[in-house]
């Protein structure tokens, strides 16, 4: 059984970069499979489900040839579509790839159906992780947006599913502190489920020094360039870099 650790990360500057780097390190050093979805980019849980599946598909092959079929069979409203690719190098050769999509039938239903589809996908991934015995992490960035795009009590529904999963680590990240306090507070749906880690912005002077030194290592005179980058780009680390 995998030890489940829930982290609630707070930052306005570089949490996403930190999460993606952690996913790369987990894959390289521990053979972990990490799926990622940023909830702030979508207007419905159907969109979130599709984004999660697109993130998962490149990794599903490591769970076996029929992993995508297993998920499609477990969730009503998902469509498994084969795409054939051909290349010509003197002789024709072709290969097929599979793509999981949220079908029009599911998209046309209400938010409660979208919520159930997302939960069903998480249940299916948990079963796959158990069968293949590989570390699996699901990262939901800007998780507090679930309250805006999901039905009433969606957070409680997700809690009910997550607490039954024994083979997935969930990492929930957000930057709206008062919403995190409400979701994670004594009367919130995720009370007692999270370890909580706050990530603050990188010190601007330290960031500026790092940029100047990086430039100079590559033969570029960089007096004041780091400070200028921060002044123009704002506080978000990815924008500065």
Q: Report pLDDT digits (tens) over 106-129.
A: 999 999 999 999 999 999 999 988
Q: Report pLDDT digits (tens) over 134-167.
A: 788 899 999 999 989 988 899 999 999 999 998 8
75 inside domain = no
**Is there a single domain that holds both residue 159 and residue 210?**
no
**Is there a single domain that holds both residue 227 and residue 171?**
no
129 inside domain = yes
88 inside domain = no
If one counts the domains in the chain, the total is: 2
Which among 219, 224, 190, 218 has a CA at the least distance from the CA of 205?
224
Residue 152 CA neighbour count, 13 Å, CB half: 0
Residue 234 CA neighbour count, 13 Å, CB half: 6
67 inside domain = no
Q: Name the phi and psi angles at 90, rounded to 5.
A: 100, -40
Residue-range definition of the domain harbouring residue 213? 204-240
Provide the token pair at 193.
């489920």
**Is there a single domain that holds both residue 124 and residue 208?**
no
Helices 111-132/45-60 angle, 10° precision: 20
Contact 227, 217 (CB under 8 A): no
Burial-class residue 221 by CB neighbours within 10 Å (0-12, 13-18, 19+).
exposed
High-pLDDT (> 70) share of the chain, %: 88
pLDDT attached to residue 9: 55
**Is there a single domain that holds both residue 168 and residue 194?**
yes
**Is there a single domain that holds both residue 191 and residue 224?**
no
**Is there a single domain that holds both residue 229 and residue 156?**
no
Q: Report pLDDT digits (tens) over 43-69.
A: 999 999 999 888 877 777 777 778 888
Q: Cα Rg for the chain, rounded, in angstroms?
A: 21
41 inside domain = yes
Q: Checking DSSP bridges between strand 78-88 and strand 136-141, what pairing results, if any?
A: unpaired
Provide the token pair at 42.
């979508």
**Is there a single domain that holds both residue 15 and residue 47?**
yes
Residue 189 belongs to a domain with what CATH number? 3.40.50.300
């Amino acid at each position: 059984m995998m030890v489940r650790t829930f982290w609630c990360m707070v930052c306005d500057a570089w949490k996403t970069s930190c999460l993606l780097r952690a996913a790369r390190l987990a894959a390289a050093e521990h053979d972990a499979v990490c799926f990622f979805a940023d909830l702030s980019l979508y207007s419905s849980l159907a969109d979130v489900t599709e984004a999660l599946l697109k993130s998962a598909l490149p990794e599903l092959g490591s769970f076996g040839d029929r992993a995508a079929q297993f998920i499609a069979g477990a969730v009503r409203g998902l469509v498994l579509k084969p795409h054939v690719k051909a290349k010509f190098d003197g002789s024709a050769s072709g290969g097929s790839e599979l793509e999981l999509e949220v079908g029009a039938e599911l998209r046309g239903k209400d938010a409660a159906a979208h919520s159930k589809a997302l939960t069903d996908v998480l249940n299916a991934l948990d079963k796959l992780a158990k069968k293949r015995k590989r570390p699996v992490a699901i990262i939901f960035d800007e998780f507090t947006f679930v309250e805006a795009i999901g039905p009433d009590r969606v957070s409680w529904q997700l809690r009910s599913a997550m607490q039954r999963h024994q083979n997935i680590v969930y990492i929930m990240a957000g930057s709206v502190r008062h919403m995190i306090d409400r979701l994670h507070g004594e009367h919130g749906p995720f009370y007692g489920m999270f370890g909580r880690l706050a990530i603050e912005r990188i010190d601007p002077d330290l960031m500026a020094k790092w940029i100047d030194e990086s430039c100079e290592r590559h033969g570029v005179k960089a007096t004041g360039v780091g400070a200028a980058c921060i002044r123009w780009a704002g506080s978000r680390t990815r924008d500065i870099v």
